[in-house]
Structure 1
Amino acid sequence: MPPDDAPPRSPATLPALLAVFLQMGMVSFGGGLSGWMHREIVERRRWMGEERFLAALALGQVLPGPNSVNLALQIGLQLRGGIGAVAAGIGLLGPPFLVILVLALLYQRYGAVGPVSTALAGVAAAGIGLTCSMGIRAARRMRGVAPFAVAAVVFVAVGVLKWPMIPVVLAVIPASVALAWRAQQRERRGHGG
Structure 2
Amino acid sequence: MAETAASAPARPTSLWQLFMAFTSLAMQGFGGVLAVAQKELCERRGWLSQAEFLQLLASAQVLPGPNVCNLSLMIGDRFFGWRGALTALAGMIVAPMGLLLTLAWALGHLAQSGPIHTSLRGALGGVATVAAGQIIGTVLRLSAPLKDHPLGWPSCAALAVLSFAMMAWLHWPLIWILLGLGGLTCFYTYWVLRRKEHSCPP
| Normalised TM-score (structure 2) | 0.81
Q: Distance in 2 between matches of 1:182 and 1:138?
A: 24
CA contact (8 A) 1:61 1:67 kept: yes
Q: Distance in 2 between matches of 1:19 and 1:190?
A: 49
Q: Which residue in the other structure is 1:13 paired with?
A: 14
Q: CA deviation at 1:133?
A: 1.9
Identity of aligned residues (%): 29
Q: CA RMSD in A?
A: 2.5
Match of 1:129 among 116, 124, 133: 133
CA contact (8 A) 1:38 1:53 kept: yes
CA contact (8 A) 1:12 1:47 kept: no
Q: Which residue in the other structure is 2:83 paired with?
A: 83
Q: CA deviation at 1:90?
A: 0.3
Task: Select the structure with the greater relative contact order (CA < 8 A; seq sep ≥ 6).
Answer: 1
| Normalised TM-score (structure 1) | 0.84
CA contact (8 A) 1:7 1:46 kept: no
Find the residue that maps to 1:54 and give its secondary structure: helix
Q: Which residue in the other structure is 2:41 paired with?
A: 41
Q: CA deviation at 1:87?
A: 0.6
Q: Which runs of 5+ in 2 are unaligned?
A: 1-5, 147-151
Counterpart residue type for residue 90 of structure 1: A
Q: CA deviation at 1:30?
A: 1.9
CA contact (8 A) 2:12 2:18 kept: no
Query: Deviations for 1:65-93, whole angstroms, at most 9, x for unmatched residues?
Result: 11111111121121221111101100110
Q: Which runs of 5+ in 1 are unaligned?
A: none
Match of 1:174 among 161, 183, 188: 183
Q: How many residues align?
A: 188
CA contact (8 A) 2:61 2:67 kept: yes
Alpha-carbon distance change, 190 to 86 in structure 1, aligned in 2, over 3 angstroms: same
Alpha-carbon distance change, 12 to 157 in structure 1, aligned in 2, over 3 angstroms: farther
